[in-house]
Amino acid sequence: VAHQVGIVGASGYGGAELVRLLGAHPGLDLTVIAAHTQAGEPVRRLFPNIVGDVVFDPIDLDRLAGLDLVFIATPHAPALELAPQLVEAGTRVVDLSAGFRLAPAAFATWYGEEHPRPDLAPEPASARAAQGDGAPAPGARGSVSRAVYGLTEFARQTVAGARLVANPGCYPTATLLALVPLAPLVVPGSIVVDAKSGTSGAGRGLREDLHHPHAHGDVTAYGAPTHRHTGEIETWLSALGGEPLGAVSFTPHLVPTVRGLLATCYADLRGGVTEHDIASAYADAYASEAFVHVREMGSFPHTKALSGSNGCQLAFVTDPRTGRVVVSSAIDNLGKGAAGQALQNANLMLGLEEPTGLSAVGVYP
C-alpha cells in the first residue's frame, strides 16, 4: 500500500518541484497539494509542466493530519505554526523552511525572533553522537521527538527515526557536503565560502531585483556578512564535523540562471595535511554514496549538470603556495538543495529505499 503524503506550499518553487518528483515515485501517493493564495487555482496555470485538471487544495489541518507524511514548503513563519500541530497529531513532517534548523539561541540570533517551540528545535551538540552504527532499533521509527537536521548523508539513522526533519538550506547543503569530511584537516576560523545561486533560490514571489531586466546579464553579491545561512553553516559544520571550526565568512551571489548553486569553499590546511589525506577523507565519506560524487582533481563541477537531479558534485585542489584547500560544490538548489533532499529524507522516515524516485540524472546541456 502506498503511503499517503501531502505538500503545503505546493504553489512555490520547492513545493512544485516536489509535485514533479512525487509524480514519478512508486511508493508515495500525493493526495494533498495545498497552497495559500493559490488554493483553488489549476496547478498547470502556474506550472505548465504538470498537466491534468488538478487544482491546489486549501490548507486543511484535519485532512493533512490524516496523512503519513507532510512536506512543508512555505516560509518559516507558517511552518513554525503548522509543523508542531501535525507532529502532535501523529503525522511525520519534512520542513523545507528554516523553522527548525537551529537551536533556540542561534535561531534568535540569526532570525531575530524567539523560537516559539524550543522543545522541538534540534540539538546540534548531540547530532553526531546520535548517528551511531547500524540501523535504528526496531520500533524506533518515528520516536525522535526533536527536529532532526536532515543533511541525509550525515544523519540517516536519526532521520529514519524522526517525526520532524528540518531539511537543510540550499547554501548550507552544498557547503556542508564540501566541508564536513574535511573538519579535522582544516584550521578553525579560516573558512571562506563564496557561493552563487540561480534566481529560483529566492522563490516564486515577485521582486524588483529578480525582475528579468535587472537579473539577466548581472552578477551581484548580497547578504554578507550576516546572511542567515551563515549561522546554519557554522552550527552544523562544527556539529556534524565533530570539531569546533569557529566562524565562517560566507558571501552568496545571485547569478542569472534559474536553477543551480555553486559553493566554492576555501580553508587553511592544518600542518602536515596532504592532498592524499583530503582524498581519503572524501573517499571515506562518499565512496558508497548514491548522490554525492567527488570528481577527479582539477575537473570542477558544473551546476548545469546537476539540474533536475538530487546530486551533488565536488572537486578539490590544494594550493601549496597558500597552504589552502579549495573545494567547489555544485547542486540543483531545488534538487539536493530542497525538494530532492526532502524526498530522500521522507523515504527514510517511511522505511522506503533511500534513493526511491530520485534516480534522474541531471539534464544536460
Active site residues: 170
CA 172 remoteness from chain centre = 7
Choosing from 13, 100, 282, 291, the residue that interacts with ligand NAP (CB under 6 A) is 13
Which of 146/259 has CB closer to ligand NAP?
259
- Cα–Cα distances in angstroms (integers) from residue 295 to residues 8, 16, 104, 224, 315, in the given order: 36, 30, 37, 29, 5
Collapsing DSSP states into helix, strand and coil, what is residue 258? coil
Is 11 near ligand NAP (CB under 6 A)?
Answer: yes
Residue 92 or 101 having the CB closest to ligand NAP: 101
Q: Are 345 and 355 in contact (CB under 8 A)?
A: no
| Ranges within 226-285 binding ligand NAP (CB under 6 A) | none
**CA–CA separation, 313 and 311 (whole Å):** 7
* Residue 11 Cβ vs ligand NAP, minimum distance, rounded to whole Å: 4
Residues 83/100, Cβ–Cβ less than 8 Å? yes
Nearer CB in complex with ligand NAP: 96/281: 96
**Residue 72 CA, distance from chain mean position:** 13
Q: What is the phi/psi pair of residue 5, to 5°?
A: -130, 160
263, 338, 343, 348: residue in contact with ligand NAP (rule CB under 6 A): 338
Any contact of residue 6 with ligand NAP (CB under 6 A)? no
Q: Report the residue number, 202 or 317, with the smaller CB distance to ligand NAP.
A: 202
DSSP string, 47-114: -TTS-SS-BPBP--HHHHHTSSEEEE-S-HHHHHHHHHHHHHTT-EEEE-SSTTSS-HHHHHHHHSS-
Instruction: State the nearest-atom distance from the C-beta of 319 to ligand NAP, in Å.
Output: 31
Helix 229-241 and helix 170-179: axis angle, to 10°? 30
Interface residue with ligand NAP among 3, 21, 38, 264 (CB under 6 A) is: 38
Q: Minimal distance in Å, beta carbon 316 to ligand NAP?
A: 24
> Of 24-32, 61-69, 74-82, 346-354, which part binds ligand NAP (CB under 6 A)?
74-82
336 Cβ contact list (under 8 Å, min separation 6): 173, 174, 177, 291, 306, 309, 310, 311, 312
Find the part of the chain contacting ligand NAP (CB under 6 A) among 138-146, 197-205, 273-281, 354-362.
197-205
Q: Is 96 in the site for ligand NAP (CB under 6 A)?
A: yes
Instruction: Give residues 158-187 in contact with ligand NAP (rule: CB under 6 A).
Output: 169-170
Stretch that binds ligand NAP, among 6-14, 23-31, 235-243, 273-281 (CB under 6 A): 6-14
Q: Is the dihedral of CA 134, 186, 123, 3 positive or negative?
A: negative
Please pick, from the candidates 6, 9, 231, 241, the single residue that binds ligand NAP as defined by CB under 6 A.
9
Size of the site for ligand NAP (CB under 6 A): 30
Which region among 91-99, 146-154, 280-288, 315-323 touches ligand NAP (by CB under 6 A)? Answer: 91-99
Q: Would you say 98 or 144 has its CB closer to ligand NAP?
A: 98
Out of 42, 78, 104, 116, the residue judged to bind ligand NAP by CB under 6 A: 78
Nearest to ligand NAP of 71, 316 (CB atom): 71
Residue 34 CA, chain-centre distance (Å), reads 21
Strands (E), 185-305: 192-197, 220-221, 249-254, 261-268, 292-294
Cis amide linkage into residue 225, ω under 30° from 0: yes
Interface ranges with ligand NAP (CB under 6 A): 9, 11-15, 35-38, 59, 73-76, 78, 96-98, 169-170, 200-201, 203-205, 333-334, 337-338
